Structure 1
Amino acid sequence: MKDKSYKLDQSAAPLLNAMSEYRKSRVVPFDVPGHKQGRGTPELTGFLGKQCLSVDVNSMKPLDNLSHPTSVIKEAEALAADAFGADDAFLIIGGTTAAVQAMIFSVCKRGDSIILPRNVHKSAINALILCGIIPIYVDPGIHPELGISLGMCADGVEAAIAAHPEAKAVFLNNPTYYGICTDVGRIARAAHRAGMALLADEAHGAHFYFGRGLPPAAMEAGADMSAVSMHKTGGSLTQSSLLLMRRGRVSPDYVRTIINLTQTTSASYLLMVSLDIARRALAMKGGETFARVTELAEYARGEINKIGGYYAFSREIIDGRHIFDFDVTKLSVNTLKTGLAGIEVYDLLRDDYGIQAEFGDMGNMLAIVSVGDDRYAIERLVASLSEIKRLHGRDGLKLLDHEYITPVVRMTPQEAFYAESEPVDVGETVGKISAEFVMCYPPGIPILAPGEEVTEEALDYILYAKEKGCLVMGPQDMELKKLYTVKRGE
C-alpha cells in the first residue's frame, strides 16, 4: 500500500463473512433466484460450480440490502471509503458506467452545464442525454507522433471555467485508456474556487490508491467524487465498481438516492463480495502487488522496444501540460513503424497467438498488466509481438494522423437524441447532425455523439476504422451502411 494508515481494520471482510455463514447455514430457499442454489440448473451449476451458485442469492436480513444498507454492506462500504481515502464509498454493480452517471446526476440537473473533455467514455455523454445537461468541451490535445488524445490541460480548463462560470462541475478522465494523466490537483482547486464540483472518471486508476510511485489518485488530489473500476485493475469481478466521494458539496444520502434511481433492486452478491475481497487484498498487500505489476510492465516495455518498430511509450512523453503524468502500468504500444495498424496487431495476437490484448486502434494497441499477470505471460506477449513483426511487418504506415476528432456541436445531446431523425447513407451524411453515437469499442470514446455535425474528418475516420476491422458500435444499423441524422427543420 501507499504510505498511509487506516482508521478501520482493513483485514475485515464483513460481506464475505456473512455470505460464508449463509453458505454454512444450509437455509432452504423459497425466494429468488429460482435456480435454488444451483439445484434447478445442473448445466449452469456444472459450468460455474456449486460454490458459486450456492451464494448467488437475493437480499435478506443477514446479508443486508444494497438499496438501503444497514449492516454488512454498510460496513463493507465504510471499509472501502477508509481504504481509498474517501469520506464515503458506494458499492456499484452496474459497472463504472453507473458510477459515472451517478456522479453527474448528483451535481447537475436539467439545463445545467458541465465542463469535460470530448474524449470521455460514452457513459458520460449518455448521462447528458438522460438528464438534459449541456456539455462544454475542452480539447484534450493530440500527441503529434502517437496520434492519441491526451489529458485536459489545466490552462484550458481554467479558461473554460472563466468563460462558463455557470457550469456546475468539471469532469475529467484520469488516467486515459493510454495511461495519460491530468493535473487533477490544480484543476480541482480551480473548480472549487469557481464553486464547481470536480468529478473524476478513474475507471483505469484503482491502483493509484495503493501503488507507490504512481500518479496521485483523485481523492488524494481533491476531487469531490470519483468512479473507480475495481474490476479493471483491482481484482474484483467484471461489472463491479466503486463510487467514492468527499463530503461538502453533495450529501451522501442524496447520492444514494440518485444511485437507486437506476440501480437494480436485485443486486448481485457475487459482484458485491468480490468488491469486499478485492478491497481487503489491496489494502493489505496493494503496495507489494503493484510494485510487482510495475516491474512487469517496465520489463515488457523495455523488451518490446528492443524488437524495433514498436514504441512502448512511458514517462518520457510527459510535457507537464496535456501529459501531466503517466501511468507506467499501462503497456501502450505504438505500432505504425512496423507497418501495421494497432488493430491489426491486436487481431493477430488473438487469432494467431491466443493472446487477448485490451484494444487496438489505428496506430496503437494496449495490453493491461495487472494483479493476475506473471513473467511467463509477459514473455509470451513479447515473443508474439516479435514474431508478428517478422512475419507481417512492412514499411511504416502513414495512417490518419489523429485519434481525436474535434466535435462541431450543433445541438445538445438530449435534443438530438430525441429529435425526429431519419436514416441516411453513411457516405452522404457530411454536414448533417448525428442523432446517434458512432464509436470504436473498446475504448468506447465516441467519434460522433448525438448533436454533432458529421464532418469529412469524422466520416473518414469512421470508414477507415471499419475498413481496418475496428468494432464500430452505436448506430442502429449495425452494418453502418446508414446513420440516423436529425431531420431538416429540427
Structure 2
Amino acid sequence: MNKLQRCRAPIYEMLEQYRIMGNRSYHVPGHKNGEAYDGVEGAGFLDEVMKYDVTEISGTDDLHHPEGVIKEAQELAADCFGAEESFFLVGGSTAGNLALILTACPEPGMIMIVQRNVHKSVIHGLMLAGVRAVFLEPLIDPLSGLSVAPAAEAVKAALAAYPEAAAVLVTMPNYYGMGSDLAPLARICHDSGVPLLVDEAHGAHYGQHPALPAGALTSGADGVVQSTHKMLTAMTMGAMLHVQGPRLDRALLRQRLAMVQSSSPSYPMMASLDLARRLLHSRGKGAFTAGLAAVDVLRRGLAELPRYGLVQPAEPLHRNTPPDSLAAYVTQDPFKVVIYDATGVLSGFELQRRLEAKGCVPEMSDDRHVVLLLSLGSKAEDADLLLQALREIDSEEPSISPHTVSKPDSRNNSTWNNFHSLQISAPVPFSLKPVSANEIESIDLEHCMGRVAAEMVIPYPPGIPILYPGEVITDQIQRRLAGLAKGGAKFQACADPVLQRIEVYNIQKGGEA
C-alpha cells in the first residue's frame, strides 16, 4: 500500500463524517448520539464519545461481514503488522484466543499442545472446545526464577508423542516482557504439519522498531493475537488477530469470531484500533522516539540506584558471542522495566504500594518484582518522577520493617505453577461440565496439601492460573498460594477472592492424592 493509503483511518473518517452530517437517529443505540444525557450529571464525560457511537446502518459496515470501511481498515492493519489477514477484536485478546482454539480444535476430544503458563482465556478456550491439552513446562530464567516459554526440544518431543495434535499454542512475550526465539518452534510445528498459535497480547508493538524484539508473525507463527490496547494506543479491549499461511481454516475462523464477539461491536473501539494502526503507519519508527528516550532515562537512573535490581537477559560470556537462541530468556521488551529490591527488605507487593503512595502506579507486582510499563506514549518526565519516587523510598529504608523475600529459583516462580517434574504432561481433558456442589468442600488453605483442586485459582494480574480443577495441590503449591495470599495478591475464579479457603473435591469423590 502507498503512503497516502497508510495515512488513512477509514473507520474513524467514517465516524467523523457521520458526526458532521448530524442526521437524526431512528435506530439504536438508545442514547441517541448522547442527547439522552443532556442536562444530566456526567454528560461531559459521555458527550464526545457518544457522538461516534453508532451501529450497523448504511455506510458504517459490519464487523462480521465487512465490505466497506471495516474491510479497508483490517487490510491496512494486515499491511502494518505483516499479516496476510487481520481481524479487529472488540473483546480483547480473550476473544482472539477463544476463536483460535475453537478453529484449530473444531471437535471435542482433539489434542492441543499448550504451554502451561498461559492466560486464563486460553484455559477457557480449552474448556469451550473440549480440548485434551498436553501441557509443556516452560524454561526458567535462572537469574530471576521467572518462566518464559517451552524449549523447542519439548515441543518436538510432544509432537512426536502425540502426532494427532491439532496445534501448538504458546505465549510470547510473558507479562514481564521476557521472550525467547520463536522461529525454531515454528519450524518444528510446520515440519509436523500443525499451526503455531501465539498469544502475543503484550507484543503488539514488536517488530515496529529496531530496538524492539521481532514479532511472532516474522518468526513464522500462523495465528497471532495482540492486545493493541496494552502496548500500543487503542482503547481498552481493542485487540487484533493476525493470520498467515494455509494451516488455519479462515472461513471457520470467521465463524468462530462471530460466535465469541458481540453482534453489536463498539465503533469507537474499532476506530481506536484504526487510529492506533495509522499512528504506526504514518510515523514509522518515529512513533517510538519519545517512549524509548523515557526508557533510557529510567534505565540510566536505575543504574545509579544500586538498591534496585533489574531483570534482563544474561550477557554473553564474550562480547562477540550471539545470544543462545535456545536459552530460556534472550529478548526483553525495553518498555517493560522489571525491578526488585536487591536488599530483600521490600517485597514486590510492598514496593508497589509505596510507589502508589507517591503517585506512581505500576502495571503489576509479585512477591519479588514490580513491573513498570512504559510505551510510545511515555515521556522523559515520567521516568524522572518514577526515579524520584524510588530515591525517596530508598532514603526511607530505616523506617521500613525488615521483610524476608525468598531468592529466585526454578521452584519459586512468580506467575504460575511450575512444580511438576514432567516436562510433558499426559492429555488433560477440559470440558464445560460444571462441578456438582455435593462433590466439593471448602477447606482452609493451610490444610489443602494432597487434596485435588475443584476450582481454578488465578492471580490477577497476570491472569495465569496456578491451579485448575483436577490438579493435585502439592506442598509447594500450597506454600506458593499462601505466600501470594499473605503478600496481598488479588485472585480471580476462586470462591474466596482473598484465598483464605479453597474448594477441593470430597475425599470420597477421589479428592485426595
Same fold (TM over 0.5): yes
Q: What corresponds to 1:326 in structure 2?
A: 332
Is 1:14 paired with 2:20?
A: no
Between 243-252 and 397-406, the greater mean CA deviation after superposition: 397-406
Helix, strand or coil at the partner of 2:224: strand
TM-score by length of 1: 0.93
- State the 1:376 CA deviation: 0.6
Q: Which amino acid in structure 2 is aligned with residue 72 of structure 1?
A: V
Change (3 A) 1:324 1:307: closer
Q: Distance in 2 between matches of 1:298 and 1:186?
A: 31
RMSD across aligned positions (CA): 2.2
Residue 99 of structure 1 pairs with residue 89 of structure 2: no
Query: In structure 2, what residue type is equivalent to 1:385?
Result: L
Counterpart of 2:73?
A: 76
1:181 aligns to what?
179
* Deviations 1:175-224, CA, capped at 9 Å, x for gaps: 11111112111100100101111001111111113111321111111110
Other structure's SS at 2:59 match: helix
Residues 215-254 of structure 1 mapped to structure 2, 5 A cutoff: 215-254=213-252
Unaligned runs of 5+ in 1: none
- How many residue pairs align between the two structures? 485
8 Å Cα contact 1:314/1:328 also seen in 2: no
1:253, CA displacement in angstroms?
2.2
Q: Is the 8 A contact 2:234 2:269 kept in 1?
A: yes
**In 2, distance between residues paired with 1:412 and 1:112?**
11
Q: State how far apart, in whole Å, the 2-side matches of 1:137 and 1:414 are.
A: 12
8 Å Cα contact 1:7-1:82 kept in structure 2: no
Residue 121 (structure 2) aligned to one of 106, 123, 133: 123
Match of 1:116, SS? Answer: strand
Task: Indicate if the aligned counterparts of 1:465 and 1:472 stay in contact, CA closer than 8 A.
Answer: no
Alpha-carbon distance in 2 for matches of 1:400, 1:460: 15
Match of 1:469 among 472, 488, 494: 488
Identity %: 31
Contact persistence 2:198–2:225 (CA under 8 A): yes
1:303 maps to: 301
- Cα separation, partners in 2 of 1:188 and 1:228, compared to 1, 3 Å: same
Is the partner of 2:450 in helix, strand or coil?
coil
- 1:261-410 mapped onto 2 (5 Å cutoff): 261-316=259-314, 320=325, 321-350=327-356, 352-392=357-397, 397-399=404-406, 401=408, 402-403=412-413, 404-406=416-418
Q: 1:29 to 1:413 in 2, by over 3 A?
A: farther
Question: Aligned pair 1:54/2:74, yes or no?
Answer: no
Task: Say whether the 8 Å CA contact 1:298–1:329 is kept in structure 2.
Answer: no
Contact in 2 for aligned 1:8/1:79 (Cα 8 Å) = no
User: The residue matched to 1:447 in structure 2 has which SS?
Assistant: coil
The Cα shift of 1:39 comes to 1.2
CA distance in 1: counterparts of 2:289 and 2:403, whole angstroms = 35
Please report how far the alpha carbon of residue 337 of structure 1 lies from its aligned counterpart in structure 2 after TM superposition. Answer: 2.5
Query: Alignment partner of 1:52: what SS?
Result: helix
Shift of 1:398: 3.6
Deviation of residue 294 (structure 1)?
2.7
Q: Distance in 2 between matches of 1:73 and 1:302?
A: 43
AA matched with 1:386: R
3-state SS, counterpart of residue 446 of structure 1: coil
Q: Judging changes above 3 Å, is the alpha-carbon distance between structure 1 residues 282 and 304 closer, same or farther for their aligned structure 2 residues? A: same
Specify whether residues 172 and 465 from structure 1 end up closer, same or farther in structure 2 by C-alpha distance, changes over 3 A only.
Answer: same
Q: Which residue of 2 aligns with 1:433?
A: 452
C-alpha distance in structure 1 between counterparts of 2:115 and 2:343, whole Å: 29
Kindly state the Cα deviation for residue 411 of structure 1 after the two structures are TM-superposed: 8.3
- Give 1:319 shift: 5.0
In structure 1, what is the Cα distance between the partners aligned to 2:210 and 2:60? 35
1:400 shift after superposition: 6.7
Q: Describe the shift of the 1:314–1:288 C-alpha distance in structure 2 as closer, same or farther (beyond 3 A).
A: farther
| 1:283-325 deviation per Cα after TM superposition (whole angstroms, max 9, x unaligned) | 1214112243233223312312321121123343665311132
Q: How far 1:225 moved relative to its partner?
A: 0.5
Show the counterpart of 2:319. Answer: none
Distance (Å, rounded) in 1 between the aligned partners of 2:241 and 2:18: 27
Distance across 1 between alignment mates of 2:272 and 2:432? 39
**2:108 counterpart residue number:** 110
- Residues 338 and 389 in structure 1, CA contact (< 8 A), matched pair in contact too: no
The residue correspondences of 1:117-196 to structure 2 (distance < 5 A) are: 117-196=115-194
Q: For the residues of structure 1 that align with 2:168 and 2:176, how far apart are their CA atoms? A: 21
Query: Which letter does structure 2 place at the counterpart of 1:212?
Result: P
- Per-residue CA shift, 1:424-468, capped at 9, x if unaligned? 213332222222211211111111122211111111111111111
Q: Distance in 2 between matches of 1:411 and 1:419?
A: 20
Map of 1:489 onto structure 2:
509
Q: Which moved more, 1:465-474 or 1:39-48?
A: 39-48
Check whether the contact 1:57–1:269 (CA below 8 A) recurs between aligned residues.
yes
Q: Does 1:423 align with 2:471?
A: no
Measured after TM superposition, the shift of residue 12 of structure 1 is 1.4
Separation of aligned partners in 2, 1:263 and 1:302: 44
User: TM (normalized to structure 2)?
Assistant: 0.89
Structure 2 residue matching 1:40: 3-state secondary structure: helix
Distance 1:411 1:428, change over 3 A: farther
**Inter-partner Cα distance in structure 1 for 2:256 and 2:41:** 34
- Specify which structure has the higher proportion of helix: 1
3-state secondary structure, aligned to 1:61: coil
Q: CA deviation at 1:272?
A: 0.3
User: Would you say the 8 A contact 2:417–2:466 is kept in 1?
Assistant: yes
Mean Cα deviation higher: 242-251 or 283-292: 283-292
Helix, strand or coil at the partner of 1:218: coil
Instruction: Assess if the C-alpha contact under 8 Å between 1:13 and 1:76 holds in 2.
Output: yes
